[in-house]
Amino acid sequence: MPLDPLRTHPLSFADGAVHPNMVHLNQVIDHPNISVGDFTYANDFDPPQDWAARLAPYLYPGAPERLVIGRFCQIAHGVRFITASANHDMSGLTTYPFPIFDPAGIAGYKASFHGLPDTIIGHDVWIGHGALILPGAEVGSGVIIGAGAVVAGRVAPYTIVAGNPARPIRPRFPPATVAALLELGWWDWPAERIQAAIPVLLQPDLARLRALAP
């Protein structure tokens, strides 16, 4: 079946029925603070009505930070993005957020949260079951995040990370291959060119992929 970024449910069974638990996220999320690239999907055993709230439960419309997810990412069940607005003010003697319970004071409290870091996920990132992505994380393209990992800070492209806190397990490819893949940026090719390249993308043959580049 041809690649189609506009399909809400990208996976179909042999009888033609769609798999309701898997969605192209940019077809089901309409949130001013969330940007998701084409073909990025999420799968959930209990698919929600509101995918934005399921994945990024603390990111409210108009918050001072964004969640940006690239193209062709794969997001497993139970993944959560804890964005920066989830943090409590730590400058006082208590972290208890008294102002949020006071309608007269909430506006000033919200205004004190500014310059919060975005959470950025690159292209072709596989985020395993139950992983937790913390505020301000920057995950490079081609990264694999192990199940249950807790990710903070910057993860270099094409690195496998796992654990709590997530630590590099190993690079996926030698540095020269990583540099070449980032330069090729196959995820930005026209859909028909990516479709033709699928057999090559599924094999570790960089020379053949380079030959197919636009």
pLDDT 10s digits, 79-107: 999 999 898 888 899 999 888 898 887 77
Give me the domain span that covers residue 183. Answer: 174-214
Q: What is the pLDDT, as a whole number, of residue 105? A: 74
Tell me, yes or no, whether 80 and 92 share the same domain.
Answer: yes
Q: pLDDT tens across 152-170, in order?
A: 999 999 999 999 999 999 9
Whether 15 is in a domain gets the answer no
Within a domain: 5? no
75 and 116 co-located in one domain: yes
Q: Does residue 189 share a domain with residue 132? A: no
Q: Is 88 a catalytic residue?
A: yes
Q: Quote the pLDDT of residue 41.
A: 98
Q: Are residues 120 and 159 in the same domain?
A: yes
pLDDT at 191: 93
pLDDT attached to residue 121: 98
Which 3 state secondary structure label does DSSP give 16? Answer: coil
User: Is residue 120 domain-shared with residue 143, that is, in the same domain?
Assistant: yes
DSSP annotation string for 97-164 = -GGGG-TTTHHHHHHT--SPPPEEE-SS-EE-TT-EE-TT-EE-TT-EE-TT-EE-SEE-TTEEEETT
Query: 209: helix, coil or strand?
Result: helix
Query: For 180-201, what is each residue's pLDDT tens digit?
Result: 999 999 999 999 999 999 999 9
**Residue 98 and residue 73 in one domain:** yes
CATH number at residue 66: 2.160.10.10
pTM: 0.94
d(CA 113, CA 111): 5
91 shares its domain with 164: yes
Residues 210 and 133 in one domain: no
Task: Pick the catalytic residue from 9, 77, 88, 114.
Answer: 88
| Structural domains of the chain, count | 2
105, amino acid identity = G
8 domain-assigned: no
103, two tokens: 């309608």
116 and 153 both lie in a single domain: yes
For residues 93 and 196, membership in a common domain is answered with no
pLDDT at 204: 92
- Do 195 and 157 lie in one domain? The reply is no
183 and 157 share one domain: no
* pLDDT at position 67: 98
pLDDT at 102: 87
On whether residue 7 sits in a domain, the answer given is no
Whether 12 is covered by a domain: the verdict is no
Q: Does 40 score more than 80 pLDDT?
A: yes
Residue with tokens 């940026």: 185
Instruction: Dump pLDDT digits (tens) for 105-146.
Output: 777 777 777 789 999 999 999 999 999 999 999 999 999 999
